[in-house]
Amino acid sequence: MKILIRNLARSTTEKELKVLFEEYGTVQSCDLVLDERTGGSKGFAFVEMPKTREAKAAMKSLNNKDVANNNIRVKKAENKKG
């Protein structure tokens, strides 16, 4: 399941996110979205967790959690319509 994480502090790293989500199960991938011009974080990321039950537990537990003084928002990522 692909999960969207928003409202991340600009200082939060992919490694920190991966560790946060691994508390709930297997993390297949973690992609922090970066600004092409500055190389800095855009404040959101995607995490993929192969097991739905683990992904749902992570979303429920981590939504509105304080991470680096920001309340992050966590939800299932929507598939983009082409």
For 18-62, how does the pLDDT look when each residue is reduced to its tens digit (9 = 90+)? 999 999 999 999 999 999 999 999 999 999 999 999 999 999 999
Could you give the dihedral angle defined by the CA atoms of residues 70, 53, 21 and 34, in that order, rounded to the nearest 10 degrees?
-70
Q: What is the DSSP letter of 81?
A: P
**Domain 2-71: which topology?**
Alpha-Beta Plaits (3.30.70)
Q: Does the structure show a pLDDT above 90 at 80?
A: no
Q: Does the structure show a pLDDT above 90 at 63?
A: yes
Domain boundaries, the chain: 2-71
Confidence (pTM): 0.93
Average pLDDT over residues 54-72: 97
